[in-house]
Every structure is written in structure tokens, then in C-alpha cells.
Structure 1
Amino acid sequence: MSSRAIVVERPGAHRLVTGPVPVPGPGEVLVRVAAAGICMSDREVYDGRRDAGYVRYPVTPGHEWSGTVEAVGEGVDRRLTGRRTVAEGFRNCGVCDRCREGETSLCAAGYDETGFTRPGAFADHLLVPARLLHPLDDAADLRSAALLEPAAVVAAAVRAAAPQPGERVAVVGTGTLGLLAVQLLARYSPAELTVVDPRTERAELAREFGATSVRTPETATDEHGRYDLALETAGAPATATAACALARRGGRVLLTGIFPPDATGIDPANLTLRQLTVRGVFGAPTAAWAFAVRAFTAGLLAPGPLISHEFPLEKYAEAVALVGGGGPGTGKVLLRP
């Protein structure tokens, strides 16, 4: 029996390789991949635009995925075999001060993540530590579950923001993170839930997910200073500035986008004088993963409508080219091994 995988040898160069099915070592499980999402970070890996400290070539990308446990290694509960599952991407050490505090995405051992420094899920099979698994119900929709990684990032941001019922909330960006954030934030009964994005074609989906209004950046200027909480999800140079502008005096701003090194626009004096609380979120700790999986299982998160395209592994080049292309009909792109 063989197993296929996409390998990005270096920026702009990839191949589909075939080899033996990986064998799980002690503490590991072998997962048969059902679906894997492609995000902008994966496009950056392919284009060579990801910071050198956050990728190791050659690499099999794929950090957003779902699948079924096919085999377990020594020391792993054999009852996991056959379980549908997702898993955390960060290979945290579990013993440093940050990990012991529960902040596993801040592990002091350094950055190490499935799909960037370890082989990822753009493959038929994937090896992951069993301790990172979050098993799903037997009836879980694995197609939708492939989006639980971005959902966990959103869950980390929402938990950090601590929204309260009746607050005014703004979400900047209507990509995968933004629309998943709308779904979760709507469950906190905000007085207003406004989405800001130049892509007006995403407005209908945002409203279906719970947004009370949708604005373009130009029409949102009269909303500046109105929101108790502003959550930024786009990672564009202007979006962090926009989120800070939307927040009221003493308001809270959560940044989840990964910004280019030369991004500017946030005025520290403005943050001080308006007494804004600004926090960044990168990845998701274990508790946020558990939160996202519980919300998905309870039907509070429904990522399926975000998926617009599905491709086999053989069409990886076509699939990755869609991501970040700005096409109005492009939502989440999946590879389906």
C-alpha cells in the first residue's frame, strides 16, 4: 500500500510524491486525511513569502485538516483507531511555564508546527502526536471539520476578548476567520455586530451568520469610536488601523491577521490617549481548540457554507493559485485526498 503527498521543495517548486504509508511511532497516530484547507499561510509557503523562522523546506504543507485515525503507535489507546478527529498544529513541549499555564501556543521551546516545520496534511496520510488529537463524534462532517483549525484561532481571539451581551462589536474582514468570528460572536447576543470589508459580495453570508450590518471601509468611517470590541481578521496593512479606529475610548482590539513586516499605521500615542487594550492572537492554545470542537459539535459553528472549491491532490497547483487571488466566488479551498 502506498501514500501520496505534496512536497514543496522550495518556493514555487512542488511535486506529488508516492511512498510507503508512514508508520506511527511511540505516542503517535496515523491519520487518513479526509480534507485539508488551504489558507494564505500555505500560499505564502508556496510563494516563498513566509518568514524563514516559520517554515522549513522541503515541506508538505497543510495545517487545516480533518481525518480518521487508521493506526496507533506504542503507548496510544487503541480505541482511537477508527475515530474521526482533528488535531492541534503547534508541537508544544507541554512542560515549559507557558504550557503549564495553558498557553500552549506560546510554548517556550520555539516554533514547531504541522504543515510548516513538520509534514502536513496535503497528503493521503499524516502522523501526529496522539496528545494533540481532538476526537470528533462518529457522525461528524469531516468536510466542515477541516475548518476547525481557523475556528480554534477565532475561538482563542473571542475568549481573549471576553465579549459581553449587549456590547457593540465590529469584525474587520470577511475571509474564513472573519466569518467564523461572526458565527461565534453572534452567540454572545451583541447589541450590534458590524462587519467591515470591501468585498460587498460577502455581505449576504455575513448576515446569514449573524451580522446586523455590513460596511465597506469607506462607509465605516462614520462608525469610528463606536464599538466596545473590534476584532481584526484580514492581516492587511490598513486593517489593524481600521480596527483601532472603530474601537471606542477604553475599548478592546483583537488582531488575528499576520501582517507584512513593513505594515504601519497604528499610532502608539493614539492607543495611549484612547486607552485601548490591544492584543494579538497567533494560533490557538489547547483550551481554544476544545472550545471550537465543542461549539462545532453543538452546532454553534457551521463552517461548511464557507467552502467554495474542492480539488484532488493532483490539482494542488490550481487550488493554491485560487487562494489570495481575490476572486469574488472564492471562499475556502479544500484539497480532498
Structure 2
Amino acid sequence: MSRSLVVDRPGAHRLADGPVPEPGPGEVLVRVAAAGICMSDREVYDGHRDAAYVRYPVVPGHEWSGTVTAAGDGVDPALVGRKTVAEGFRACGTCERCRCGETSLCTGGYAETGFTEPGAFADHLTVPARLLHPLADDADLRAAALLEPSAVIAAAVRAGRPRPGERIAVVGAGTLGLLAVQLLAAASPAELTVIDPRAARGEQALAFGASGHCSPADAGELSGRFDLVVETAGAPSTAASSPLLARRGGRVVLTGMFTPGAAGIDPVHLSLSQLEIRSVFGAPSSAWTDAVRAFGLGLLDPGPLITHEFPLERFTDAIALVGGGDPKTGKVLLRP
């Protein structure tokens, strides 16, 4: 038997028992080791996710790690027993954007593990083998559950093109922001400043490689200072405020998920400053490769971000922590 946490509709969930899924042609079966809960999962549970990006009933869980236990027809049997993570977007692989390597921009229709396809809040899940990123035999599967947000940040770092000796700012010190600090520190910046109202998160950023931190209230004196600004907070004001931190001709990457009504970027400042602004939603295959490689090399260690772990039976307690506002809450995991 295999258990799964099913959200039938917003606010309604159940723990279901059923047979262990069988992988179809081109698929593998994975025994889930750990699955992270993020704000998008909370949005699914609360009914706040755009209807085009969720399909009820759904088993959530797009941040996960596990071990391959079975392979379907046409899949290399050597994958059985391998520790692994996998891309969430079920990109078609044949459209123009996929053929250009931009798999997160697939035009073949939206499908994603944990939102439209069964996810990892379960004992087992099946995924296409082509989406796997196998890990080393000694990989820490607890920490590896955070490789999905790590891939998003790897996509942001790719877009931002950090160069040694540059001044870099990270706006926000949540999961994405602290992962960004680790990857950006590996680029040998001259300065790596984190901006977040939570002093404890700023101190954690220093331990991850930042050179300094400050609150948004004190960030005004840093206007025009940075070569690269990576925004990760998704707060109502941070899309507008982050470009003000960049020097003329600088680069800004927006990775936070903004809600309708967030303040927009001043077009006058944008044009006069000749800024380059990029946004990131999800991660293409290349960014997953970057994140998994950095994890394997020890340049990226998401483990210290994890503060809470729960079994599937305590999903209600786990989801309540996410977005609850407690500054001591970091990453929350379900451990089937």
C-alpha cells in the first residue's frame, strides 16, 4: 500500500491509502524521502493559486527527493536504487522553446508535478525518467528536497551573470534568498549584501557567505550601488524598490512571486538608468543541472534552512507553519 495526501478542494484534504503506483512506459517509480512545503503549496491548499495552474483533486509536492524503486518499459534499469530529484515542469521537449533549451517556457501546455500531476506528499510518485537528475550515492536526501527552489535560484543566477569582484545585493532572506547567497558567494563578489527586515535571517545570510545585511528601512542609502540585484522576496514593494539599488547599466533579476496590486517599476527610472531586468518563473533543465552540480560539489548546502519536519499524518500542523509569519520558521518538510 501507498499513502498520499490529497487536497480535494481548497481547505479540504485527506490521507488516502491505495496500491503502490506502477510506472508506465518511460517512467520511474520513486520512494519519497522528503518533500518541502512552500508558499505555492499553501496557495493550493487555501485556494489562492490561479485556476490555470492547479487541478483539483491534487496530491501536492513539487519540492522533493527520493530513491528510484522501479523502472517502466524503455527506461534504463540501472536507475533503480539511485537517489534522485526531478524537474517539475512536464515540458513537451518538442516545441520551439523546448528545442531552444527554455523548458520552463514550454508552449505545449502547462503541466507540473504537484499542481496538475500527482506530487510528492505521498509515499511514492511516478515521474518521466527524462526529468530525473540522479544524485551521488552518499547524497543527503533531506537537504536534496530543496533542490527545486535551488534550481529556481540557479536560473536567476544564470540570468544575472555575476562576475568576480562585482557588488551584489539579494533582496529577501527567505529560502530563495539564502540559497541565492550561497550560489552568488561562489562567484567571488566584492560585496554581497542581503536586505531583509528580520535581523536573524540577516545573520544567517552572513553564515552562508554574505558580507553584510541591512533592513529595508536602511537600504535607501545603498541606492545605485550594485552591479547585480537579485530580488527573492515577492513582497508588494520589492519589484519597485529593487531596481533603485542597481547602478546605472546594472542588472536586476526578479524571482519573487508577486500578487496582483504589487507596486510596479518606475519606467522613468528604468529608461534613464538603462537597466537590464529579467524575471524568473520556475527553472529550465540547464538550471537544474547547475543546482545539482553545485549541491554535489558542496557549494550549495540547503540543509541548514530546514527547521521543521512532520509525517504525512501531521500535514495540518505543517501547512499552518508555512506563511504563518513566525521568523523562526524556515523550511518545513514532510517525511513520508
Q: Same fold (TM over 0.5)?
A: yes
Match of 2:42 in 1: 43
Match in the other structure for 2:127: 128
5+ long unaligned stretches in structure 2: none
Offset, 1:262: 1.8
Q: Distance in 2 between matches of 1:181 and 1:264?
A: 23
The alpha carbon displacement at 1:110 in A equals 2.1
Supply the distance in 1 between the matched residues of 2:51 and 2:233 (Cα, whole angstroms). 21
Count of residues in Structure 1 that have an aligned counterpart in Structure 2: 336
For residue 94 of structure 2, what is the aligned residue in structure 1? Answer: 95
SS in 2 for 1:242: helix
The answer to whether residue 283 in structure 2 is matched with residue 284 in structure 1 is yes
The match for 1:106 is 105
**1:191-206 paired onto structure 2 within 5 Å:** 191-206=190-205
| Contact 2:195/2:202 (8 A) holds in 1 | no
Q: Deviations over 1:217-265 (max 9, x none)?
A: 0011100110000000011111112211111111100001111022123
Name the residue aligned to 2:84. 85
Determine the structure 2 residue equivalent to 1:255. Answer: 254
Aligned-pair identity in percent equals: 73
Query: What displacement does 1:267 show?
Result: 1.4
- Determine if contact 2:171/2:229 at 8 Å carries over to the other structure: yes
Give the unaligned 5+ runs of structure 1: none
User: For residue 73 of structure 1, what is the aligned residue in structure 2?
Assistant: 72
* Counterpart amino acid of residue 114 in structure 2: G
- Which secondary structure state, in structure 2, belongs to the residue aligned with residue 218 of structure 1? helix
TM-fit CA distance, 1:176: 0.6
Q: Which residue of 1 aligns with 2:162?
A: 163
- Find the counterpart in structure 2 of residue 323 from structure 1: 322
Specify the alignment match of 1:210 in structure 2.
Answer: 209
Contact 2:27 2:126 in 1 (8 A): yes
Equivalent-residue separation in structure 2 for 1:63 and 1:7 (angstroms) = 14
Q: Cα deviations across residues 290-319 of structure 1 (Å, max 9, x unaligned)?
A: 110000000000000000000000001110
Alignment correspondent of 2:54: 55
Quote the residue 2:33 is aligned against: 34
Cα deviation digits, residues 173-212 of structure 1 (max 9, x gap): 0011000000000011111100001111112210011111
**SS of alignment partner, residue 159 of structure 2:** helix
Q: TM-score scaled by structure 1?
A: 0.99
Matched residue SS, 1:220: helix
> What letter matches 1:103 in structure 2?
E
Whether the aligned pair in 1 keeps the contact of 2:44 and 2:54 (CA below 8 Å) is yes
Deviation at 1:266, TM superposition (A): 1.4
Residue by residue over 1:24-70, the C-alpha shift from the partner in whole angstroms, topping out at 9 and shown as x without a partner, is: 00000000000000000001111111111111111000000000001
Residue 273 of structure 1 deviates from its aligned partner by 1.4
TM-score (norm 2): 0.99
Deviations 1:130-158 (A, max 9, x none): 00000001110000000000000000000
Counterparts of 1:317 and 1:235, CA distance in 2: 25
Partner of 1:224: 223
Q: Distance in 2 between matches of 1:89 and 1:301?
A: 20
Q: Separation in 2 of the partners of 1:239 and 1:10? A: 31
> What secondary structure is seen at the aligned counterpart in 1 of 2:216?
coil
| Offset at residue 270 of structure 1 (A) | 1.7
Code of the aligned partner of 2:141: L
